[in-house]
């Protein structure tokens, strides 16, 4: 091991002037400082300690191959590594079955946590597990790893080889990102949800509006949101190109972790170490958004930044609707959708698919009667996991069809058919549209 | 390292689903086989056009946005794409490219047209458009990434050093 470098500090970039060195820090700079043992500032390149590393069934096979190709036969700490089967479960294909078998065998060999079929989406399971806490640095071989930024965790997506390096060494190199500060002010109108807030931002700054940067979200609108709703926003930071979508930890954040620890019957892996930005933190940019007059938003095919207020697309026919994913498959999302669907049936020309983000959410949604409501309304409720979002199973649309979905991506071919068209919206908008077979403003039902 | 080949030009915001559709990554783990589907959403004949002589993929801004799938740079490598030039890259793709040994260069790609004969000098920091005679300079890779690329990617780097040795 090369101890001189591990955890050390070096930079390939010109040093910032001393006057900037004494300025305050962003959340990202603080977490990289505490994990690299340096005074980390935007632009610095650091090797940092990783608190948790994860991969899923689309990325684990390459990660396992990379670990072997690195000459390693174990991970740095099996308690800090997980592999999750979520993208394609239960397996619809021999090729997937082979990948799943490879993950299970790796789990037996190394002792890493294996989450098998039906447990849920990795980005719900990692925060639910109690193995990460506020102030942590986490990497995952999935681009939506940025989801836990809502919980004050600097979490970011990497590829399988980066993931393998982190799993083997417990470290990874990073360029400390600059931060854009996004402040949501005002009130949230009826029928407008956290999904609309992040879609609006995607329309405003575009799909490369935050490339190589971190986002920090704050303001009274964020403070008022539940943890479920905050995770929707951080989840989509990557859709704007961002490395992370960070929020401060508050009472709700700490309550989330304490309740999870109680439910899991195991204490949190360590005391939370929440990181707040300094008052004089240096931001690349700040954007203030007044949400008081915001309409529900829709991202149109085939780009997440192609966003319109719902009034511009309302009435467009849809054939399929999907409620779920790491963006909007949580209990609050189901509560909202169920409130619109209760006692009604979806339009006969629409297929509604629902996928809980985790088994615990599935159980809670059953206890609350939401699943009953969905099934009675005519929905196909599928295994906790990614559902049809990634185009491998659970509802591949037909040629020429429009789909309305609570997912985070509407790329051409994303759901497995290049000749279909994906519209992204909040659970309320998707539920309302499933009832009418047209893109529908949920405020008509509220 | 330098590369000489024809330019294959694409637009901006080329996402990883366009580089290799998610539906293939679960069908096979054989990158040579999967490479036949590289870029097919935008050019169904990309593999047939590029693989015989090698090619230089040229794009606008935000190349490789979307998922973290490392299959994206791998299928480009296996389709004989020698280097990718773009005005900017999505960060996960950029890291994945370096880690798997695919050279990536951020430069002004407006001055390159489909089919132009291109020479890329990685150390010299210059893209030469041999068709138009124009030279396009670029900032060399940060030293950390240059070291990883010189070792052939992150896995060979770890095999050689046992951990990060980037100083």
Mean residue pLDDT of chain A comes to 94
Contacts of B75 in chain A (CB under 8 A): none
Average pLDDT, chain B: 94
Contact A165 B41 (CB under 8 A): no
What are the backbone angles phi and psi of residue A331, rounded to the nearest 5°?
A: -60, -45
- CA-based nearest distance B131→chain A, Å: 31
Per-residue pLDDT, A436: 98
CB A413 within 8 A of CB B66: no
Cα of first residue to Cα of last residue in chain A, in angstroms, is: 61
Task: State the CB neighbour count (10 A cutoff) for residue A186.
Answer: 15
- Mean pLDDT calculated for residue range A128-134: 96
pLDDT at B23: 80
Would you say how long chain A is, in residues?
Answer: 446
Q: Is the pLDDT of residue A1 over 90?
A: no
**CA angle at B82 for the pair B142 and B69, rounded to the nearest 5°:** 75
- Tell me the C-alpha distance between A445 and A136, whole Å: 41
Query: Tens of pLDDT along A272-312?
Result: 999 999 999 999 999 999 999 999 999 999 999 999 999 99
Residue of B nearest to A418 (CA): B41
Residues of B in contact with A62 (CB under 8 A): 29, 70-71, 74
Separation of alpha carbons A265 and A275, rounded Å = 26
Among B13, B26, B143, which would you mutate to test the A interface (most chain A Cβ atoms within 10 Å of its Cβ)?
A: B26
**ipTM of predicted complex:** 0.92
User: What's the pTM value of the predicted model, to 2 decimals?
Assistant: 0.94
Third-level CATH fold of A299-444 = Aconitase; domain 3 (3.30.499)
Q: Which of B27, B39, B68 should we substitute to test contact with A (largest number of A Cβ atoms within 10 Å)?
A: B68
CATH code of the region A49-175 = 3.30.499.10
Does residue A18 surpass a pLDDT of 60?
no
Is the CATH code 2.70.70.10 the one for domain A177-288? no
Residue with tokens 């982190």: A166
Distance from CA of A168 to the nearest CA of B (A): 8
Which residues of B, range 105-124, sit inside 8 Å of A by Cβ?
none
Q: For A341-390, what is each residue's pLDDT tens digit?
A: 999 999 999 999 999 999 999 999 999 999 999 999 999 999 999 999 99
A vs B, Cβ pairs < 8 A, gives 167
Instruction: Give the one of B26, B156, B167 whose C-beta lies nearest to A93's C-beta.
Output: B26
* Residue B46 burial (10 A CB sphere; 0-12, 13-18, 19+): buried
Interface residue A391 vs chain B (CB under 8 A): yes
- Write the pLDDT tens digit of every residue in A181-191: 999 999 999 99
Interface test with A, best of B18, B25, B97 (most A CBs within 10 A): B25
% of chain A residues with pLDDT over 90? 95
Q: Where are the domains of chain A?
A: 49-175, 177-288, 299-444
Contacts of A87 in chain B (CB under 8 A): 26
User: Residue A5 is nearest to which of B90, B153, B167, comparing CB atoms?
Assistant: B167
CATH number of B2-140: 3.20.19.10
Question: Is A6 in the B-facing interface, judged by CB distances under 8 Å?
Answer: yes
A88 to B29: CB separation less than 8 angstroms, yes or no: no
Beta bridge partners of A380: A353
pLDDT at A101 over 70: yes
- CA–CA dist A48, A7 (Å, integer): 6
Q: State the smallest CA–CA distance between residue B130 and chain A in angstroms.
A: 31
Residue B67 has pLDDT above 50, yes or no: yes
Domain boundaries, chain B: 2-140
Residue A110 has pLDDT above 80, yes or no: yes
């Amino acid at each position: 091991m090369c101890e001189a470098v591990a955890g050390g500090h070096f930079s390939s970039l010109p040093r910032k002037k001393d006057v900037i060195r004494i300025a305050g820090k962003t959340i990202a700079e603080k977490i990289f400082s505490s994990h690299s043992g340096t005074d980390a500032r935007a632009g610095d390149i650091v090797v940092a300690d990783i608190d948790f590393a994860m991969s899923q069934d689309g990325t684990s096979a390459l990660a396992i191959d990379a670990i072997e190709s690195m000459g390693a036969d174990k991970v740095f700490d099996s308690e800090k590594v997980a592999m999750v089967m979520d993208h394609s479960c239960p397996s619809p294909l021999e090729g997937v079955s082979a990948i799943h078998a490879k993950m299970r065998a790796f789990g037996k060999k190394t002792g890493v946590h294996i989450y098998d079929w039906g447990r849920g989406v990795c980005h719900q399971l990692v925060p639910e597990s109690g193995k990460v806490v506020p102030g942590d640095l986490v990497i995952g071989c999935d681009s939506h790893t940025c989801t836990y930024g809502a919980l004050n965790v600097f979490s970011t997506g990497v590829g399988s080889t980066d993931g393998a390096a982190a799993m083997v060494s417990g470290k990874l190199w990073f360029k400390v990102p600059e931060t854009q500060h996004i402040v949501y002010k005002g009130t949230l109108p009826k029928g407008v949800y956290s999904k609309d807030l992040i879609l609006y931002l995607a329309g405003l700054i575009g799909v490369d509006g935050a490339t190589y940067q971190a986002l920090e979200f704050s303001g009274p609108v964020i403070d008022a949101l539940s943890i479920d709703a905050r995770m929707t926003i951080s989840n989509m930071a990557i859709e704007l190109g961002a490395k992370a979508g960070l929020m401060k930890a508050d009472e709700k954040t700490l309550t989330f972790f304490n309740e999870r620890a109680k439910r899991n019957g195991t204490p949190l892996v360590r005391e939370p170490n929440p990181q707040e930005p300094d008052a004089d933190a240096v931001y690349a940019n700040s954007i203030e958004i007044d949400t008081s007059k915001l309409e529900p938003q829709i991202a149109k095919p085939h780009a997440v930044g192609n966003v319109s207020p719902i009034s511009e697309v309302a009435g467009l026919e849809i054939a399929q609707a999907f409620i779920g994913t790491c963006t909007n498959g949580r209990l609050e999302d189901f509560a909202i959708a169920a409130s619109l669907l209760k006692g009604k049936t979806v339009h006969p020309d629409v297929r509604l698919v629902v996928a809980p983000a985790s088994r615990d959410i599935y159980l809670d949604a059953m206890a609350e009667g939401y699943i009953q409501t969905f099934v009675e309304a005519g929905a196909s409720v599928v295994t906790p996991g990614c559902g049809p979002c990634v185009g491998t199973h659970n509802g591949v649309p037909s040629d020429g069809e429009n789909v309305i979905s609570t997912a985070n991506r509407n790329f051409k071919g994303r759901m497995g058919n290049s000749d279909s068209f994906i519209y992204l919206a909040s659970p309320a908008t998707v539920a309302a549209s499933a009832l009418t077979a047209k893109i529908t403003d949920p405020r008509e039902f509220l | 390292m330098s590369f000489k080949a024809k330019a294959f030009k694409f637009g901006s915001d080329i996402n990883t689903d366009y580089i290799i559709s998610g539906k293939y990554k679960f069908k096979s783990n054989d990158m040579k086989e999967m490479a036949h589907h590289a870029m097919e959403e935008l050019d169904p004949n990309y593999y047939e056009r590029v693989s015989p002589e090698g090619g230089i993929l040229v794009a606008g801004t935000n190349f490789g946005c979307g998922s973290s799938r490392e299959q994206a740079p791998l299928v480009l490598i296996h389709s004989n794409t020698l280097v990718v030039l773009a005005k900017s890259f999505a960060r996960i793709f950029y890291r994945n490219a370096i880690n798997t040994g695919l050279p990536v260069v951020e430069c002004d790609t407006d001055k390159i047209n489909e089919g132009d004969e291109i020479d890329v000098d990685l150390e010299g920091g210059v893209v030469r458009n041999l068709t138009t005679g124009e030279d396009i300079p670029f900032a060399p890779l940060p030293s950390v990434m240059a070291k990883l690329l010189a070792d052939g990617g992150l896995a060979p780097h770890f095999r050689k050093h046992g951990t990060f040795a980037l100083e």
